[in-house]
Amino acid sequence: MIFSPLELLMIAIIFTWIGFVRTGLGFGGAVLGLPILMLIGGSPIDWLPIIGIHLLFFSSITLSNSLRQVDWQYLKKSLPWILPAKIIGVIGLLSLPPNVMTLIVYLITILYSLTWINNSQIISKKTWVNNLLLFFGGYLSGTSLMGGVLLVAVYMNHIDLKKLRNTLFVLWFFLVSIKMVAFMAVGVYIDWRFSLMLIPVAALGHFIGLRMHERMIKSDAKFKRWMGGVLIIVCMVGLLKVIVL
């Protein structure tokens, strides 16, 4: 993809935002960034490799001194439900037309945004419901890296808050590694140079997010309500763009 100087500036700002959200909340970078990136150009298959590279890079940095703050027991318990669905989702991403995947991303984002605006939570104490949420979260993660909301809904009920973010980072590392291997196996074009060029701006957001993590957790509902409204507007514009074009 070829971008104008203004578009490159906008992309840099969006990747700073993605890094900030991903580190500040422990999830949500793709949900809050991918729909906006697609307004500039491209489809999910164009942006997901770049987002994936950044996630692997920054999660490795964050976890380098924090592996003791990971709930390995629950992580191992949940992976058998997540990984098969993840693989099915990746196959769908690679086989479906770009316009279809773009529509799916926007519709998923609208659904998440409505739950955030209404301050709704996906909570269940039933094991089979939790397993279903893990499965669908894995599937959505495979198709678009946007299954985090469902996975976090389950993890929050089983993992101590102090270990939640680092456990999620390990989970994201596993899931994104599978997707990146699949991309390379089928020959998806990965613009490594562009990805590396965006590392500094993503790093800026990453380190701001590290400092703001505690404050963001405390005002989580207010933050999500505000972002939900913005994302619905973005998705409506994106849907019109896809339908008209």
User: What is the DSSP code string of 160-203?
Assistant: -HHHHHHHHHHHHHHHHHHHHHHHHHTT----HHHHHHTHHHHH
pLDDT at 206: 84
> Strand, coil or helix: what is 12?
helix
Per-residue tokens: 229:
């409204």
Question: How does residue 95 score in pLDDT terms, banded at 50, 70 and 90?
Answer: confident
pLDDT at 198: 92
Per-residue tokens: 150:
């469902």
Contact 22, 55 (CB under 8 A): yes
What's the whole-model pTM score?
0.75
pLDDT digits (tens, 9 = 90+) for 166-202: 888 888 888 888 888 888 888 888 888 999 999 999 9
Contacts 24+ apart (CB under 8 A), 125-128: 125/157
Largest CA distance in the chain: 51
Specify the higher pLDDT residue, 120 or 38.
Answer: 38
